[in-house]
Amino acid sequence: LMRLQRQLAKVKLLIIDELGFVPLSKTGAELLFELISQRYERGSTLITSNLPFEEWTETFGTERLTGALLDRLTHHVNILEMNGESYRLSQSRARLAAANK
pLDDT at 86 over 80: no
CA dist 17 and 46 (Å) reads 8
pLDDT at site 37:
92
CA dist 77 and 81 (Å) reads 12
Domain architecture of the chain: domains with CATH: 1-100 (3.40.50.300)
pLDDT at site 3:
94
pLDDT at site 79:
87
Write out the DSSP string of 43-86: SEEEE--SS-GGGHHHHHS-HHHHHHHHHHHTTS-------S--
pLDDT band at 83 (very low <50, low <70, confident <90, very high): confident
pLDDT at site 53:
92
pLDDT band at 101 (very low <50, low <70, confident <90, very high): confident
Q: N- to C-terminal Cα distance for the chain?
A: 54
What 8-state DSSP symbol labels residue 94?
H
pLDDT at site 70:
94
pLDDT tens sequence across 23-65: 899 999 999 999 999 998 889 999 999 899 999 999 999 999 9
CA dihedral 37, 46, 68, 36 (to 10 degrees): -20
pLDDT band at 69 (very low <50, low <70, confident <90, very high): very high
